[in-house]
Amino acid sequence: MKQYKKDFIELLVKAQALKFGEFTLKSGRKAPYFLNVGSFYTGELISELARAYAQAFIDSGVEAEVIFGPAYKGIPLSVVTTAVLHSEFKKEVSFTFNRKEMKDHGEGKLLVGAPLGAETKVLLIDDVITAGTAIRETLELLKTNGNPKVLGVLIAMNRMEKNNEGKNALEEIEKLGVKVFSIVTLDEVIESLYGKEVNGQVYIDEAMMEKIKIYRAEFGI
């Protein structure tokens, strides 16, 4: 595992973005872990988060011109990642994001940022994919707003789960012609945290590992 992945996993627990316990997901599933990038709300934390996204972007090899951030969580992710790509990796990439509602004044556009056209190469950015509903909605939105070439989607963590139809969630997204990249996978998180002390705490002990195994037996891939 690359060092930036290990650092990112430690960052997740440090920021309390990755928590272990019992959580009800939007899909209705009760999961023993939960990831919320909304916990990265300080300058230091959001900068470190953006650095991890930027490194994963470079590693993906995707030659995207624009990083698109779906509202709402994708908005700050798209902005800070493009900034870090420029400042630390000397790579020039633009950002675009959408509003939830069309403005009825000013420029009156649904999208904010770099203009999108049929030849624009775009990478979506988000936190996680569970059922894939949000990504499908974003793809439909883009078809009627410039119809750019969506090369992939970059997420923080691959939960390695089935969707609500019992199929591999990420494989179903990739069937739409959109490659999915992640900074880390659940397997890598377990490898880094299981039975190991981080910041003076063992986040995945034997009891938690058992809960994760039970959950993955039902929903994992």
- The string of pLDDT tens digits covering residues 168-193 is 888 888 988 899 999 999 999 999 99
Q: Is the pLDDT of residue 107 over 80?
A: no
**pLDDT value, residue 2:** 94
d(CA 206, CA 221): 21
The reported pLDDT for the residue numbered 103 is: 53
- pLDDT number for residue 215: 95
124-147 residue pLDDT tens: 999 988 767 788 899 999 999 999
Pairwise CA distance, residues 4 & 51, whole Å: 9
Q: What's the token pair of residue 21? A: 């316990």
Q: What's the pLDDT at 131? A: 67
Looking up residue 124, the CATH number of its domain turns out to be 3.40.50.2020
- How many folded domains does the chain comprise? 1
Stretch among 2-6, 104-108, 146-150 having the lowest mean pLDDT: 104-108
Residue 103 vs residue 41, higher pLDDT: 41
Q: What's the whole-model pTM score?
A: 0.92
The single residue of 2, 91, 103, 109 carrying the catalytic annotation is 103
| 175 is annotated as an active-site residue | no
Percent of the chain with pLDDT over 70: 95
Mean pLDDT of 84-95: 97
The CA dihedral of 185, 10, 164, 207, to the nearest 10 degrees, is: 110
pLDDT of residue 105: 45
pLDDT over 50 at 106, yes or no? no
For position 102, what pLDDT does the model report?
Answer: 57
In a 13 Å sphere around the CA of 119, the CA atoms on its Cβ side amount to 0
CA 26 and chain centroid, separation: 16
**Active-site hit among 26, 30, 90, 105:** 105
Confirm whether 105 is a catalytic residue.
yes
Q: Which domain holds residue 137?
A: 3-219
